[in-house]
Amino acid sequence: MCQFSLRFDALEAAYGIRFGDAFANELERLKPLESDGLVNMTRDGIEVLPAGRLLVRNVAMIFDQYMAGKATQRFSRTI
């Protein structure tokens, strides 16, 4: 979150995964944010654009496994 970017190759090397396969659902959920000009997705990674920096927490929440399927809110709301 602090660097506003993520390189797939670094995670693939560290965890022995194919990012696109392991996070296919999350990448699909990022598409509306990309359409809104908040993130830029390439085959190499994800970059949070200046317009999306105030919403970086919302971007990160897409990848948070503890947030998936939570019916009861136990955290602060974002914009």
Distance CA 6, CA 60 (A): 11
Q: What are the chain's domains?
A: 5-61 (1.10.10.920)
Percent of the chain's residues with pLDDT above 90: 78
- Model confidence over 36-70: pLDDT tens digits? 999 999 999 999 999 999 999 999 999 998 876 65
Q: Is 57 within 8 Å of 77 (Cβ atoms)?
A: no
